[in-house]
Amino acid sequence: MEYFTEQAQTHSECLRKIRMKYGDGARVLMQRSVRVGGVFGFFTKEAVELSGVVGADATRNAAAKKPTDLEEEKKKFISGLKADPTLQLLVNEVRGLKESISAGAAAAPRGEDHGTISRVRELLNLNDFSAAYIRSVEERMKKEFSLEQLNDFDAVQDTVIDWIGESIRVYKDEGFQARPRVMVLVGPTGVGKTTTIAKLAAAYGIGGAGSRPLNVRMITIDNYRIAAKQQIEIYGHIMGIPVSCVENFEDLRKTIALYSQDVDLILVDTIGKSPRDYMKLAEMKELLSACGNGADVHLAVSATTKSSDMREALQQFEPFNYRSVVVTKLDETVRIGNVVSALVEKGKSVSYVTDGQRVPQDISRASVVRFLLNLEGFRIDRRRVDERFPQETSGKIQWR
C-alpha cells in the first residue's frame, strides 16, 4: 500500500494525473482546496489537492503499461489540457508573467526578488537603516507595487523617498504655553548639548528664531567639571546671557523661581552619563524634577552614533519623558538611516538639527527635507520633496 498526494487546477485534471501515475486502482480518500504558485505571495491560484492510497496491484498495473501505452496516455492528457478553458487561461497568464519577468529590469540576485527591490535594499543598507526598517520597506514594496511598476526604478525610488519622509516626525513646537518656558537638554556625553544650548540661547536671545528677542537664561547642572562650567560661562559672557550653575534640586527650584518674574526662556544644560559616572541618571532625573512637569525636555543624540547605540540612548533617557530629539553633528555623516530608524522604532519626533561647531549659526529647526537631502545614493528630486513636505519654518534659524 502506498500513499499519494497530487495537486492540479481542477478536480478532473487531478484525477487524470492520479490515473496516469498510479493506474485505475488508486483510491481517492481526501480532497481539499489549496493555493499554489504565485510571485511575492501574489497571483496564487486556487487548486485541488487529492490524496489517497494505491494498492500494490494498481501500482504494478501502472508500471506494467507498455511505453507505447504511456505515450498514448500522455497525448490524451495533453489534449485534455488543451480542451480545458480554465487551464488555458492559466497557461496564458503564466506565459504573460514569464514574459514580463524576463523583460523586467534586472534578474533578482536573491531568488524571487525583483531587481528594483534588491537595489532599494542596497541603498537603504548603504544609508545605515536598521534591518527592521529595511524589512518593512521591502514588504511594502512587494505589497504595493505590481511587477510592471517595479520595472520603473525611478518611480519606485520616488515613492520610497516619500515613505521615508512620511516616517520622519517633526516636532510641533507649541510655543510659549507658560512663562518662563523651561527647556532641558539631556543626552550622552559629548554629543553637543552645551553647544546646542548656546546656539538656542543665541537664536532666541538675539531674535533669530523668528520671534522678538527673548529674555533668556542658561542654567547648567554640569558644574562637576571645571571645563564644562567654563565652557557655558564663556558662551554666556559673549552673548550677554546670564548663566547659573546649580548643584541640587533645591538650587534649581530656587533659581527657576527667581527667574519667573521677567524671563521668557530658561535653557537647562545637563550632563550625560560619563565613563566615570559623575552623577547617575536617576539622580539627575530627581534633580531635574525641580523644573516642573511643564518642562520641555529634549534628548540630544549625535547623527554619528551607530544604530544600536542610538536605540540604546533613546531607551536609556526614556525616564526623562523627553518630548523630542535634537540630532547633532549632521555635518559629520552622510548617513542618516541610523537616526531615522531609531526615531521611527521608538516613535519619537525630531525638533532641531545641528550641523557644525559654529555658535550660533549651525542649528536649524528639523525638517523632513533636511533629512531626505542627506540620503546617500538615492536620486532626490528637490522640487518634488519640497512640494511633498512643505515646511512653514524650515532651514537655518535667521540671524541678523
Q: Could you give the count of Cα atoms lying within 13 Å of 146 in the half-sphere of its Cβ?
A: 5
Enter the C-alpha cell of residue 116: 528594483
Q: Give the total of residues touching ligand GDP (CB under 6 A).
A: 17
Q: Contact residues for Mg ion (CB under 5 A)?
A: 193-194
Q: Looking at beta carbons only, is 180 or 192 nearer to Mg ion?
A: 192
Which of residues 70, 332, 393, 395 is near ligand GDP by CB under 6 A? Answer: 332
Helices (H) and strands (E) in the chain, counts: 16, 11
When CB distances are held under 5 to 8 angstroms depending on the partner's kind, the choice from Mg ion, ligand GDP, none that residue 263 binds is none
CB of 172 to ligand GDP, least distance (A): 23
Q: Which of ligand GDP, Mg ion, none does 312 bind, CB closer than 5 to 8 A by kind?
A: none
Closer residue to ligand GDP in complex, CB, 6/362: 362
Residues 6+ apart with CB under 8 A from 93: 43
Q: Which residue is nearest to Mg ion (CB)?
A: 194
Among ligand GDP, Mg ion, none, partner that 332 touches (CB below 5 to 8 angstroms by kind)? ligand GDP
**Cα dihedral 245, 248, 253, 256 in deg (nearest 10):** 10
* Beta-bridge mates of residue 300: 326
97 closest CA partner among 28, 150, 25? 150
Cβ 329 to ligand GDP shortest distance, Å: 4
Angle subtended at Cα 295 by Cα 289 and Cα 298, rounded to the nearest 5 degrees: 100
DSSP 284: H
CB 367 within 8 A of CB 333: no
> Judged by CB, which is closer to Mg ion: 194, or 255?
194
Question: Alpha helices, DSSP H only, in 180-275?
Answer: 193-206, 226-239, 249-259
The answer for residues whose C-beta is within 8 angstroms of residue 96's C-beta and 6 or more apart is: none
The minimum distance between CB 171 and Mg ion, in angstroms, equals: 22
Nearer to ligand GDP, 191 or 214 (CB): 191
For the bound state, the minimum distance from the C-beta of residue 131 to ligand GDP, rounded and expressed in Å, comes to: 28
Cα pseudo-dihedral 342, 344, 349, 350, rounded to 10: 50
Residue 362 touching ligand GDP (CB under 6 A): yes
Does position 331 interact with ligand GDP (CB under 6 A)? The reply is: yes
CB-based closest residue to ligand GDP: 192
Q: Does 364 bind ligand GDP (CB under 6 A)?
A: no
Minimum distance between the CB of residue 239 and ligand GDP, rounded to whole angstroms? 15
| Window 234-273: contact mask with ligand GDP (x via CB under 6 A) | --------------------------------------x-
Closer CB to ligand GDP, 84 or 362, in the complex: 362
Question: What is the smallest separation between the CB atom of 321 and ligand GDP, expressed in angstroms?
Answer: 19
Cα gap 122→295, rounded to integer Å: 42
Q: Please state the closest distance from residue 233 (CB atom) to Mg ion, in A.
A: 12
The one of ligand GDP, Mg ion, none whose footprint includes residue 236, by CB under 5 to 8 A per kind, is none
Using N-to-C axis directions, what is the helix angle for 115-126 and 153-167, rounded to 10°? 40
Residue 389's alpha-carbon distances to 162, 246, 347, 377, 386, in angstroms, are: 9, 42, 19, 20, 5
Q: What is the closest distance, in whole angstroms, from the C-beta atom of residue 344 to ligand GDP in the complex?
A: 22
Residue 12 grid coordinates: 478532473
Contact pattern from residue 184 through residue 223 relative to ligand GDP, giving x for each residue in contact according to CB under 6 A and a dash for the rest: -----xxxxxxx----------------------------
Helix (H) or strand (E) holding 218: strand 216-220
Residue 16 within binding range of ligand GDP, rule CB under 6 A = no
Least distance from ligand GDP to the Cβ atom of residue 155, Å = 35
Residue 195: name its binding partner from ligand GDP, Mg ion, none (Cβ under 5 to 8 Å by kind): ligand GDP
Residue 328 interaction partner, one of ligand GDP, Mg ion, none, beta carbon < 5-8 Å per kind: ligand GDP
User: Can you list the pairs that 235-239 forms with residues at least 24 positions away whose Cβ atoms lie under 8 Å?
Assistant: 235/194, 235/197, 235/198, 235/201, 235/359, 236/201, 239/198, 239/201, 239/202, 239/205, 239/206, 239/360
Q: Tell me how far, at minimum, the Cβ of 298 lies from ligand GDP, in Å.
A: 12
Within 10 A of 163 (CB to CB), how many other CB atoms are there?
13
- Residues making contact with ligand GDP (CB under 6 A): 189-195, 272, 328-329, 331-332, 354-357, 362
